[in-house]
Structure 1
Amino acid sequence: MGFQAIWISPVIHNIEGNTTWGYAYHGYWGDNPYLLNEHFGTPGDLKSLSAALHKRGMSLMVDIVINHFAANQTPPDISYSAFPSPFNSKSSFHQPCDIDYANQTSIEDCWVVTGPPPVLADINSENATVFNALVQSVVDIVKTYDVDGIRLDTAKYIPKPFLAQFQDAVGVLVTGEAFNDSTAYVSQYQGPLESAINYPLWYVLVDTFTGRTTFDYLAATIKTEERSFLDANVLTNFLDNHDVPRLASWDGDDVVRDKNAVTFLMFTSGIPVVYYGFELRFNGSGDPVNREPMWTSSYNTNATLYKYISKLHKVRDFSHVVGKASYFSSNAKILGTSAEYMALQRGPLVVVVSNVGVGGTKNSFDITASDFIPHTTIVDILSCSTTRVGHAGGFVSPPNEGEARIWIPTSYKSSFCP
């Protein structure tokens, strides 16, 4: 899937380059699936946003919740009659109970929040009238606003047969949130849904790119995911989101580690998601400070990471010259790892990333084999330096003060280097 995601909340912030997703965050009232939240804009505003994105060759993804309604009362005091039909009765919701996260039935039947208010009243998915109405409300949203994809919030709280019903009905890409570090657990949700948010990978990315573990750990995780998921290329991969500490809160002032991490994100298998503010090194350490308002940043387009991600977009757009369909349907291939480096091949590119950070290492990285033609010259399109390919496509990637390298045949050099 040739997608990239910019997570924007609630305004457009388009990083220059081949950005193909815009993202509208929680745009609906928590107690009425038929109405837009007026604090986010009018129906006309959302239609205009959709049209503007599509005019730019981008797509629109919206964040949808079908697991619960919000109510600003305690469970015994909820006025169910205030909800629209058919959600206006107590039987439309499961009985209030606190979740036992060791029990999947409890996860699916109990309430995510039982107090203090606002609480999240859990939809009775087994009530066909209620669940079908909820699904139809989303189908109407997709059609009305020409939506191209859905991030499904709290997917693990919904029984899988109902997720499959939802995916079939909406007819667009759905990536489901199953917040868990276990590949075995999260992989259950690709099948009922087309995609899953790649939480297992996130945990490993943080540990790897902050230098707390070696790249062997990341390589092992990638291989496990390739075996466990139906299609790793439609998983949504991320470094920051609104539920976890931002990467910059872990690595301090080390923008070089951020650059390596986002380089990996853009070229590994899957759909890269860039949460708004990452490009400006927002450093909130957890909810709610990881949801900083965007407008305080002045939308700085000269920030180091902003310009770097823009270049990566252009490289990623170019990188599927081998054929877009084959590029996005084939997994990235790991060429080698060490304590300090990982090399992976994606189409005509070999990406070398490091976790050493500012100042880097004096060690080169010896790549024993690649798809490069032996005895040819390749160029790192981030620094424009060159090196020679040896037997079996192997070559030595010199140290670069901790910066990532993206190697490509010199026949493509003019696209990026003088």
Structure 2
Amino acid sequence: MKLLATFAVFTLFAVATCRRSAEEWKDRVIYQILTDRFAAPGSASWSSCGDLRGYCNGNFRGIIEQLDYIAGMGFNAIWISPLPQHTEGDYHGYSAIDMYTISWHWGTEKDFNDLVAAAHARDIWIMVDVVANHMGIGDVSTYIPFDKTEHYHEYCEIHDWNDAWQVENCWLFGLPDLAQENQYVDNELCYWIDWLLKTYDIDGIRIDTVSHVPKWFWEKFKAAANVYDVGEIYTSDLGKIQYYIPPMDAALNYPFYWTMKDVLIWGKSMRDLANKYNEMKARFGATMHVMGTFADNHDQARFLCDRNSWTLLKNYVMLVLTMEGIPIVYYGTEQGYTGCADPNNRESLYPNYNTDHHLYWFIATTNYWRGVLGTSFTAADQVERWIDDDFYSFTRGDAMMCATKIGEFGNLSRRVSYHNYPIGTVLVNIYNTNDRVTVQSYGIDISITGGEPKLYLPQSYISANAANAPAQHVASE
């Protein structure tokens, strides 16, 4: 009866959905939040959440209240936690017990509709995390819509992560594993994702645990969703990721994420960044433009946990925001959060909505100029201009990025002779507009002081657009 009622409401009152495509998402920059940890109404005056293993009371109304904080960093998309009612206590939301009811912890249907409307009014798109691999822990006979034992695989544990059968059929962390080969499960999951997108006007989805579900099912799920999706395929094996693209539009770029950490945290050669990009570009081609590049996330220790360096973090964030892909920044990175293993990397953001934090400004500045460049930047491939063990420079369109692993105590100079600028062009560093270089017949002389990253644009961009840029300053930490 629940599904019949739901279908009736859906048929009569569903709103039109934009069904944003991968192509449309290319100009988006995503801010990832855990709904429970980001904000509640009035939480700017609260103290930080004391028990990170329980609920911290964040909800949709809190997100609405802090949309200006998000927009102030230049983000035009938000990735939020799974919507369904979940196993009580699972504040993250990845353990659904009723797929057709929004978790009361997050708010009501009206609250969520109000969030979508308020975000869209600011041209901020909504990406929702979705799970089609498993349900929550408990009595499955009470679950909606999968209330029979035949809807699930028989219990087994994953002992060999290279065994595809185990990965696809056994239970992840003891969560009941859905049997997509069951026709009812197959049909219902595809109906549900279509219903979800139509009912709530969602712009895109992040798909959890992709490799735990057979590829043939994702082909049907993708057809039903018909929206930009980025899949979690937790591996550095490019072949395994390529196996799922298509049907996935893209995947979270774990291979590049781990390479960046190896270089910037553990001191490996910057050449590894260029090599990884070239290897991925050869495999994925234009798909690189819609891969999900990310700075921290809820499943990994934060960058500053492993390496306490603001400077190296800025190099990391600049690379994420400027390399090919759709950038994703995890909430709290802009406030210098240092959380290590789960749940310590899932801190409450409240009360730390400090728009004067230098990392907030750094992200806002990068995103502002990314927006100024528009499709001339996002549609452009990155072209390597210099690479050695300590320094990496590349261009996309008219922008030139310079990153280094030397850290805050290091200085270096390089002459970049391979570039795409006319002689005499004045290039300005967006992070310090007093830092200017003129393109000479022999190239561009780049000087790095204190390991700071640089993003150079021709003076013409700065002159035309500087008035609306985030105010240049060195803010408090």
TM-score by length of 2: 0.80
Cα distance in 2 between the residues matched to 1:212 and 1:147: 41
Going from structure 1 to structure 2, the CA distance change for 1:330 and 1:413 (only over 3 Å counts) comes to closer
Q: How does 1:75-224 map to 2 (within 5 A)?
A: 79-85=139-145, 87-99=146-158, 100-114=160-174, 120-224=175-279
Partners of 1:359 and 1:402 within 8 A in 2: yes
Offset at residue 27 of structure 1 (A): 2.1
Q: How does 1:11-410 map to 2 (within 5 A)?
A: 11=39, 12=63, 13=66, 14-29=70-85, 30-72=96-138, 79-85=139-145, 87-99=146-158, 100-114=160-174, 120-230=175-285, 231-252=287-308, 254-295=309-350, 297-320=351-374, 324=375, 327-361=377-411, 363-384=412-433, 385-391=435-441, 394-410=443-459
Alignment partner, residue 17 of structure 2: none
Q: How many residues align?
A: 398
Moved more, 383-392 or 59-68: 383-392
3-state SS of paired residue (2:415): strand
Cα distance in 1 between the residues matched to 2:213 and 2:316: 32
Partners of 1:4 and 1:19 within 8 A in 2: yes
Moved more, 404-413 or 273-282: 404-413
Partners of 1:198 and 1:237 within 8 A in 2: yes
Offset at residue 220 of structure 1 (A): 0.4
1:23-44 deviations in Å (ceiling 9; x for gaps): 2212212111111111111111
Partners of 1:211 and 1:356 within 8 A in 2: no
What runs of 5+ residues in structure 1 fail to find an aligned partner? Answer: 73-78, 115-119
Cα distance in 2 between the residues matched to 1:258 and 1:319: 24
Offset at residue 309 of structure 1 (A): 0.4
1:96-150 deviations in Å (ceiling 9; x for gaps): 1111212012111111123xxxxx1011001122121122112111111110000
Cα distance in 2 between the residues matched to 1:307 and 1:113: 39
The answer to whether 1:411 aligns with 2:460 is yes
Question: Percent identical across equivalent pairs?
Answer: 28
Alignment partner, residue 47 of structure 2: none
The amino acid that maps onto 2:82 is H
The amino acid that maps onto 2:355 is T
Cα distance in 1 between the residues matched to 2:466 and 2:311: 21
Partners of 2:251 and 2:292 within 8 A in 1: yes
Alignment partner, residue 76 of structure 1: none
Offset at residue 232 of structure 1 (A): 0.4
What runs of 5+ residues in structure 2 fail to find an aligned partner? Answer: 1-25, 40-62, 86-95, 473-477
Partners of 1:149 and 1:174 within 8 A in 2: yes
1:56-77 deviations in Å (ceiling 9; x for gaps): 01100001101000123xxxxx
3-state SS of paired residue (1:364): strand
Larger relative contact order, structure 1 or 2 (CA cutoff 8 Å, min sep 6): 2
Moved more, 135-144 or 7-16: 7-16
Cα distance in 2 between the residues matched to 1:298 and 1:383: 26
The amino acid that maps onto 1:319 is L
The amino acid that maps onto 2:296 is D
1:318-345 deviations in Å (ceiling 9; x for gaps): 123xxx2x53233211211122211010
The amino acid that maps onto 1:318 is V
User: Root-mean-square deviation (CA), in Å?
Assistant: 1.7
Cα distance in 2 between the residues matched to 1:161 and 1:4: 30
The amino acid that maps onto 2:414 is F
Partners of 2:365 and 2:430 within 8 A in 1: no
Alignment partner, residue 117 of structure 1: none
Cα distance in 2 between the residues matched to 1:327 and 1:161: 35
Cα distance in 2 between the residues matched to 1:164 and 1:391: 53
Cα distance in 1 between the residues matched to 2:403 and 2:371: 19
Going from structure 1 to structure 2, the CA distance change for 1:283 and 1:26 (only over 3 Å counts) comes to same
Moved more, 373-382 or 307-316: 373-382
